A and B are shown apart, each in its own frame.
Chain A
Amino acid sequence: MSKVLTNNQTISNVHRNNQPITQKRNRLDKIVHNSLLAISSLPILFALAIFLALWFRAYPILQVHSFIELISGTVWKPLKGLFGFYPFIVGTGWVTLVAIIIAVPICILTTLYLSEYAGVWAQRLVKPILDLLAAIPSVVYGVWGILVIVPMVKNYAVPLFQPLGNVFPIFMSKNPTGYSILAGGLVLAVMITPFIISIAYEVLQTVPAGLRQASLALGTTRWQTIKYVVLPVSSGGIFASVVLGCSRALGETMAVLMVVGNMVQIPHSIFDSAYPLPALIANNYGEMMSIPMYDSALMTGALILMVMILILNIFSVLILRHILIEPH
């Protein structure tokens, strides 16, 4: 009895003695909470700051030329004050499109193989491979492009598609160097592979196993299960992963810059050279302060690029969030 009493006493003593300490702990917790809240608002502020900084810098030229005029103008002569972004936007679009057309079937087939057929060994093997592909610096991809892809396009792809050129103008070849949209697209296709595969794989993992089993139990082949069950269920997420890959491709700078030829023209064939927007910004930062309005024009370029990427990015992030984070 007495023991219990002492225990009770001890507890109440501790409690009373620690009252200030508890308050101190709670106050510290509150302070930390508030400062962490402040720090965690930084991402939002950064995103706004980047957009506003580019906007203010681009503003002077947007007062002289309308936005529509800038993006539809085809003449780029900074010394004469002519800033037409159309060739660059079209160039970016071509390179990205070629990359997507090459990468998407390969990525989707690989992802399906990994998620529906392959054993544990392939899944273990592929994670480091994708990590390495994503880790290789863009400049190294560019060097590989110059050493391998450009000669390949020049020596094999051009003669191979020559006969088609007369029928389909997009295979027409007037550019003998190999530095072309196709080269840029091929390099980009390899670069965006890890992004598309890792996300598409996650999407496929969310397809309930029961659906597959139900289909297989009816005696379908695996491919029929994929075609009629797995793909229809996951098509939205796979589409989002492709869109995300697309947004990565749009902004890729150095690797594309090194192999795409960089000629200001509106390309008509995959063997023409092009001049994507990121390459324009990277190549001309040196002289942009010396020609009037040039800096403003380049920042407008950066703004256009960023808005294009943001639209694709937000779109795919919202779809993926719905699929991966809040499964029904």
Chain B
Amino acid sequence: MKTKWKPRHIEETIMKILMIFSFSLIIGSLGWILFTILIKGLPSLSWAMLTQTPKGGYYLGKEGGILNAIVGSLYLAAGGTILAVLIAFPTALFLSVYVNKKRWAVIVRLSLDILWGIPSIVYGAFGFLLMLAMGLRASLLGGIITLAFLEFPIMTRAMDEIIQRIPPDLPLAAYALGSTHFETALHVITRQVIPGLLTAVLLAFGRAIGDAASVLFTAGYTDHIPTSLSQPVASLPLAVFFQLATPYPEVQNRAYASALILTILVLGVSILSRWISYHLDRYSIR
């Protein structure tokens, strides 16, 4: 039987075409961004860029690299992530194991949502005020503390979601055997969710590496690799930003290469976390 084409079928076809068009537009823009960064960044990417710190006159187009920014970003993000894990994991554990669905959990989750919504520039301003109050200057420590604030809600929300997803029978079985909340949380739940926790940590780590607005105030910028927590530190996003702001085409080309390095780093972290959740999940009980 052949369907007769009525206005509603035409409308259906038009909408479907529009939908597929929008969907491909989004895939296309991701491809476009990656393609642009790759094409512009690859020609200026060199071994020297990855292994040297800026030499004199680097920002005029002379020799050197951005090792200071690569190492600086890793220091900042790693420090911030470690600090954030220290409070994010206990908070998530308490929310989902101890007080799940009670009023306290609702309040804390709401404030986590609020913290999550605060933009990184406000975290930067807050970190700056915090450092003024503590008498710190723009330094590695300041950047780490600010990034920890930024990462904390991202990580906690992800961990909370993951812990809530475990089968409810699992903790119940542990309680039935007479174990306390703490023993259940430590020996049963934590073990079960370790792959998920790692992905949450990597998610926050990736966000921290790419964030510029918060470290702009708090970490400063320097051509050296810092040797102590009180020294200022360079970061990749700011390296991109500052190099792009110079009027010299050679330096701007290096900014594109730095953007490529940053993108590879961030996408690498994202893919690693995907891999972890895919491959380690099979050790969990379902």
Contact = CB atoms under 8 A, between A and B. Distances in A.
Interface of A: 25-26, 28-29, 32-33, 35-37, 39-44, 46-47, 49-50, 53-54, 57, 105-107, 109-110, 112-114, 117-118, 122, 125-126, 128-129, 131-133, 135-144, 146-148, 190, 193, 197, 220-224, 226, 244, 247-248, 250-254, 258, 278, 281-282, 285, 298-299, 302, 305-306, 309-310, 313-314, 317, 321
17 contacts: A26-B180, A39-B87, A43-B156, A50-B118, A110-B22, A110-B23, A135-B207, A136-B33, A143-B40, A143-B240, A146-B244, A222-B16, A278-B213, A281-B125, A282-B121, A298-B125, A310-B114
Chain B, interface size: which category?
35 or more
A113 B22 contact: yes
Contact of B152 (A46, A141, A302, A321): A46
Contact of B263 (A43, A53, A140, A148): A140
A309 B18 contact: no
Contacts of A258: 241, 244
B278 to A, nearest CB: 11
A interface majority secondary structure? helix
Contacts of A53: 126, 129-130
A107 B111 CA distance: 27
A60 B210 CA distance: 34
A136 B263 contact: yes
Nearest to B210: A137
Contact of A193 (B11, B26, B213, B216): B26
Given A106-B22, A305-B121, A314-B110, 7 more contacts: A37-B94, A110-B19, A128-B274, A140-B259, A143-B255, A285-B125, A302-B122
B180 to A, nearest CB: 4
Nearest to B156: A43
A105 B23 CA distance: 11
B276 interface: no
A306 B8 CA distance: 46
A253 B213 contact: yes
Contacts, number: 259
Contacts of B114: 47, 310, 313-314, 317
B115 A43 contact: yes
Contacts of B113: 313-314, 317
Given A41-B108, A129-B27, A140 B33 contact: yes
Contacts of A26: 180
A166 B145 CA distance: 52
A282 B216 contact: yes
A324 B33 CA distance: 32
B75 interface: no
Given A128-B274, A137-B209, A33 B182 contact: yes
B280 interface: no
B122 A50 contact: yes
A32 to B, nearest CB: 4
A139 B262 contact: yes
B95 interface: yes
Interface string B105-136: 00110111111011111111110111000000
B267 A135 contact: yes
